[in-house]
């Protein structure tokens, strides 16, 4: 089974690197997913080549996924984790009929900086 990864459109070095067949690290990350602003390392690139594909997601879709997780599960989930749900919601046919696991975490959420509910 191939791995399906989610990556912010504003920091899609993994997607570009896998498509090019070599590390593509010359970019300035622009995303709310602060945990995904770092670059892909050479050992991880080697592991992912031929074994993974990447869905890129814009920040607006990630925020929508964060809000959905809060509304339905009553869980605060950080953007770098909510992007996994955003990727699934962006391409539902790709995951139809399959068992899909998503790890959600929220330890790095700055509650004062949440992108909704500001007065």
Q: What is the pLDDT of residues 87-111, one digit of tens each?
A: 999 999 999 999 998 989 887 777 7
Q: In the predicted model, is pLDDT for residue 30 greater than 70?
A: yes
CA-to-CA distance for 45 and 94, rounded, in angstroms?
A: 23
Stated pTM of the model: 0.87
On the 0-12 / 13-18 / 19+ scale of CB atoms within 10 A, 75 is middle
The pair of three-digit structure tokens given for residue 76, joined into one six-digit string: 């605060």
Place of tokens 């919601």: 89
- For residue 55, what are the β-bridge partners? 6
What gap in Å lies between CA 58 and CA 111, rounded to an integer? 21
Domain 3-95 fold: Rossmann fold (3.40.50)
Averaged pLDDT for residues 1-9: 88
Residue 118: band (very low, low, confident or very high) from pLDDT cuts 50, 70, 90: low
Structure letter (DSSP) for residue 32: S
Percent of the chain with pLDDT over 90: 75
């Amino acid at each position: 089974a191939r791995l399906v990864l989610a990556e912010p459109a504003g920091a899609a070095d993994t997607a570009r690197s896998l498509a090019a067949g070599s590390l593509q690290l010359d970019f300035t990350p622009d995303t709310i997913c602060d945990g995904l602003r770092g670059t892909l390392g050479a050992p991880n690139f080697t592991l992912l080549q031929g074994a993974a594909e990447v869905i890129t997601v814009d920040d607006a879709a990630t925020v929508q996924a964060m809000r959905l997780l809060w509304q339905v599960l009553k869980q605060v989930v950080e953007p770098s984790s909510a992007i996994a749900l955003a990727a699934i919601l962006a391409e539902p046919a790709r995951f139809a009929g399959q068992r899909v696991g998503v790890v959600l975490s929220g330890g790095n959420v700055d509650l004062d900086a949440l992108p909704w509910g500001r007065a």
